[in-house]
Amino acid sequence: MSVVQAAAQDPTPLLEMRDISKSFPGVKALDHVDVALYPGTVTALIGENGAGKSTLVKILTGIYQPDSGEIVVDGKAVHFGNAEAAIRNGITAIHQETVLFDELSVAENIFLGHAPRNRWGLVNWSAMNARAAALLTSIDAPISPYTRLKDLSIAQRHLVAIARALSVEARVVIMDEPTAALSYKEVEDLFRIIDRLKRQGKAILFISHKFEEVYEIAERFVVFRDGRSIGAGLLSQTGQDEIVRMMVGRSVDHVFPKTEVAIGGTVLKVSGYSHPTEFDSISFELRRGEILGLYGLVGAGRSEFCQSLFGITRPSAGSLELEGRSIEIRSPSDAIAAGIVYVPEERARHGAVLQMPIFQNFSMATLAKTTRAGFLRQAEEFALARKYAERLDLRAAALSVPVGTLSGGNQQKVVIGKWLAARPKVIVLDEPTKGIDIGSKAAVHGFMSELAGEGLSVIMVSSELPEILGMSDRVMVMREGRMAGIWNREGLDAETLVRAATGNE
């Protein structure tokens, strides 16, 4: 701990960004921001989506050049004309979704672009594999450098991405939402790695939406809002409420807007749902107006199970009853017709068609409502889109702009709105607030409550314990494809759920 304390008092930053501005046509992404990173210290960069965090990361890694301002490393002003220049200055980044190559080996992925050479200028395979193995050992990752990447789990790929970032002589490590795809236990592993990097004296910029993580791992913080740096300092001297105020520029009303809703009769009855590899014997009843939280580690089979309810994957055994009638779901259109809809976890991949306009995304799943005999009625499509855009408080320049131009939170509103237009009975939300900013998160939570109040039944898959505990009427935990139990909301604590999910009972 002594290094950390020393670092916190150390007034000499390893890297400083001074008065940085960057504009894009029509938007000022960064407006005279200042950020300082100290050796052996984790600095958390906090801000809503669209606050300018990603732009800052891109400037720091040489992908963008700032319009004005300077970057100072070790007291010397530097200029990063390209990504290589940033790496030469010891800056490396682990991105939200690092691009890795499925068909290449772990070692090749780690050293792609800077593989050790032999004297003929060819790749020195033995040196590369040895160095990869050493790197992986240094971060406690039990992965063979010879394995092909496609044979690894998501969490293991993440470790490879970290190893890749550390394979250059880095002194500044940027982690852009590194925990977004990780489960509880994997986050702990990541934090151990960060601790090790800290002890090596590296300066770490940590970007996360999750406050527990920020307070657990970081010493310093910088808050961005609308492209400006609003505040910076030591986390030990700053409360969560204060940071939230800086982030959103308005006061905190309340935590989770879960309202009490009269729970009605059974809407959906799942009996013995099984799949050859992903899940086994899932049985439960979902009631009217109820929010059922579905918790578990990444890979516990939650998404696969939910997708089988929606007709994407077919169960090998089991039956469904909706409002007392037995139904069989063979395709998503069967599910939509029956009144079961699914908001997928991977918004950009499965949820929205980013290149298409907002209004066409809203009407996509319910085109029959805005067509006559198969012919589109554009005015009705706009009307439908407007109705749900207003209901969800969508922030967009126009209904005809592509969904891809919106922030993550607003994209999620479009995906949810698309399904509300289908007037469902059961809505399955798979990680509905993953990677979206705090304001949009609250809107999604408030909305979920509203839907339950209107008599919808909600299944909410989430890996965030506060969300599960805050929003659910009941919580079901899955572990390795099986049900680990169902609990009522009253008196339920996080430890119970984590024990059930990890099997440490």
Residues that bind another protein (CB under 8 A): 25, 211-212, 240, 244, 248, 250-257, 310, 312, 331-333, 335-336, 342, 344, 349-356, 359-360, 364-365, 367-368, 371, 374-376, 382, 386, 389-390, 393-401, 418, 438-439, 441-443, 445-446, 466, 470
* 346 versus 495: smaller Cβ distance to another protein: 346
Tell the smallest beta-carbon distance from residue 92 to another protein (Å). Answer: 27
Closest to another protein by CB, 217 or 443:
443
Report the alpha-carbon distance of residue 436 to residue 452 in Å, rounded. Answer: 22
Are the C-beta atoms of 213 and 187 separated by less than 8 Å? yes
Find the helix packing angle between 494-502 and 184-199, rounded to 10°: 90
SS3 at position 31: strand
Cβ distance to another protein smaller for residue 287 or 386: 386
Tell me the two tokens of residue 235. 């986390």
Q: What angle do CA 101, 104, 106 make, to 5 degrees?
A: 95
**DSSP readout, 321-367?**
EETTEEE---SHHHHHHHTEEEE-S-IIIII--TTSBHHHHHTGGGG
Smallest Cα–Cα separation from 404: which of 447, 343, 361?
A: 361
CB of 208 to another protein, least distance (A): 12
> Position of tokens 């994997």?
186
Phi, psi of 5 (to 5 degrees): -65, -45
CB of 166 to another protein, least distance (A): 31
Query: Which pair of structure tokens corresponds to residue 494?
Result: 């996080």
Amino acid at 444: V
**Closest distance between another protein and the C-beta of residue 25, in Å?**
6
Q: Which is nearer to another protein, 59 or 442 (CB)?
A: 442
Burial grade of 121 (CB within 10 A; 0-12, 13-18, 19 or more): exposed
For another protein, which is the closer residue by CB, 108 or 437? 437
Residue 240 or 488 having the CB closest to another protein: 240
To the nearest whole angstrom, how small is the minimum distance from the Cβ of residue 4 to another protein?
A: 24
Residue closer to another protein (CB basis): 313 or 496: 313
CB of 207 to another protein, least distance (A): 16
**Least distance to another protein from the beta carbon of 347, Å?**
9
Work out how close the CB of 87 gets to another protein at its nearest, in angstroms, rounded to a whole number. Answer: 24
Nearest C-alpha neighbor of 198 from the set 10, 39, 44, 40: 40
| Nearer Cβ to another protein (44/443) | 443
Q: d(Cα 377, Cα 370) in Å, to the nearest integer?
A: 6
DSSP 3-state percent helix, strand, coil across the chain (nearest 5): 35, 25, 40
C-alpha span between 89 and 99 (Å, rounded)? 22
Beta carbon of residue 433, minimum distance to another protein (angstroms, whole number): 9
3 state DSSP class of 88: helix
> What does the alpha-carbon distance between residue 128 and residue 144 come to, in Å, rounded to a whole number?
12
Instruction: Determine which helix (DSSP H) or strand (DSSP E) holds 482, and give its type and residue range.
Output: strand 482-488
| Residue 443 C-beta: closest distance to another protein, Å | 7
Taking the least distance from each CB to another protein, the nearer of 134 and 401 is 401
Q: 356 burial class (0-12, 13-18, 19+ CB within 10 angstroms)?
A: middle
CA atoms of 324 and 313, how far apart (whole Å): 23
- Which of 439, 462, 109 lies closest to 245 in space, CA to CA? 439
Cβ proximity to another protein, 73 vs 414, nearer residue: 414
- The least distance separating another protein from the CB of residue 90, rounded to whole angstroms, comes to 28
The pair phi, psi for residue 89, each rounded to 5°, is -85, 10
Instruction: Give which of 499, 503, 486 is closest to 284, Cα–Cα.
Output: 486
- Min dist CB 444 to another protein, Å, is 9
What sections of 139-266 are H helices per DSSP?
154-166, 184-199, 211-217, 240-248
Nearest to 185 by CA among 485, 465, 378: 465
Q: With respect to another protein, which residue has the nearer C-beta, 395 or 482? A: 395
**CB-wise, 364 or 498, nearer to another protein?**
364
